[in-house]
Structure 1
Amino acid sequence: MKVLVDADACPVKQIIERVAKKYYIPVIMVIDTSHILESEYSKIIQVSKAPDAVDIALINRTESGDIVVTQDYGVASMALGKRAYAINQNGKYYTEENIDLLMYERHLSKKLRRAGGRTSSMKKRSKEDDEKFETAFSNLCRQWYSSNSAPVN
């Protein structure tokens, strides 16, 4: 098992590394060439800036039981299709029960924007957002640990 991160705009990379390190879970962060990222813990994979290059590279490396951290509903849907876990940067789990509605809402928002409409803007990230993500992500990692009896310090 590993954690794969759609790292281009991910605000919780440090939390992911801190929690994953605690459970000895390897982390792969995928970025495009317009970003620079260094890590002593995570493996960094840099891909071209081509449309969806990061998404494709991340999903190609995803296996059953992995954890995928992404804001992209499409990536989350593909991860679920590979029997991986998927979570967003705010700690929301993507599941078989909610992904269809999320994908439909994304479709409607895209149609609205194409027609010149506006969708709601993102609110500024808060400490509570980070705490909520850390709790949810820790729960996923702990669940994996419990089922695999990996050593933890």
Structure 2
Amino acid sequence: MKIIVDADACPRSVLQICGRIAGEHSLEVWTVASFNHNIESDFHVMVGNASQEADIRLMNLAQIGDIAVTQDWGLAAMLLAKGVRCLNPMGREFSNQNIEFLLEEREVKAKFRRNGGRTKGPHKRKPEDDREFEISLQRILSES
């Protein structure tokens, strides 16, 4: 088992939490990001900035039983199908029960934006978000 982080848009605090908790459980933390990001990690995979390049590399690294941290709902859906537990940086776990709804929601919002609509972005990160992420990651590890 390892923790794989889609590090292109991952908050630094989440990377730090992953590193600390992985150390407590003797796990490796793999980070995948384009060369545009300065990521310090023992197991860092640098990719180009082509569309989906980081996602493809992450999919190739992932194995059954791994834990992935990503904000990308489409990537989470593919990882779930591969037997990987997926968590977003806010601490929400993606599951087979909620991923279909999330993908449908993403499509509806994308269509709305294509037609000139505006949607809200994510809220500013708070210390509570880090605590929620840590609680969720610890829970997943205790279940494994």
TM range (shorter): over 0.9
Q: Tell me which of the two structures has the higher relative contact order, counting C-alpha pairs closer than 8 angstroms and 6 or more residues apart.
A: 1
Secondary structure of the corresponding residue to residue 75 of structure 1: helix
Structure 1 CA distance for aligned equivalents of residues 121 and 8 of structure 2: 19
Structure 1 CA distance for aligned equivalents of residues 66 and 113 of structure 2: 33
List gaps (5 residues or longer) in structure 2.
Answer: none
Structure 1 CA distance for aligned equivalents of residues 53 and 93 of structure 2: 23
What corresponds to 2:82 in structure 1? 82
Structure 1 CA distance for aligned equivalents of residues 125 and 133 of structure 2: 11
What corresponds to 2:35 in structure 1? 33
1:104 aligns with 2:114: no
Contact 1:4 1:27 in 2 (8 A): yes
Contact 1:90 1:130 in 2 (8 A): yes
Structure 2 CA distance for aligned equivalents of residues 49 and 104 of structure 1: 27
Structure 1 CA distance for aligned equivalents of residues 25 and 137 of structure 2: 11
Contact 1:20 1:141 in 2 (8 A): no
Secondary structure of the corresponding residue to residue 140 of structure 1: helix
Q: CA deviation at 1:92?
A: 0.5
Contact 1:92 1:133 in 2 (8 A): yes
What is the TM-score with the length of structure 2 in the denominator? 0.96
Structure 1 CA distance for aligned equivalents of residues 116 and 56 of structure 2: 29
Task: Tell me the percent identity.
Answer: 41
Number of residue pairs matched by the alignment: 142
What is the TM-score with the length of structure 1 in the denominator? 0.90
The 5-angstrom pairing of residues 51-70 of structure 1 reads 51-70=51-70
Query: Could you give the per-residue CA deviations for residues 91-146 of structure 1, whole angstroms, max 9, x where no partner exists?
Result: 101000000000000111111111111111211000000000000001112222xx
- Runs of 4 or more above 2 Å deviation: none
What corresponds to 1:150 in structure 2? none
Secondary structure of the corresponding residue to residue 30 of structure 1: strand
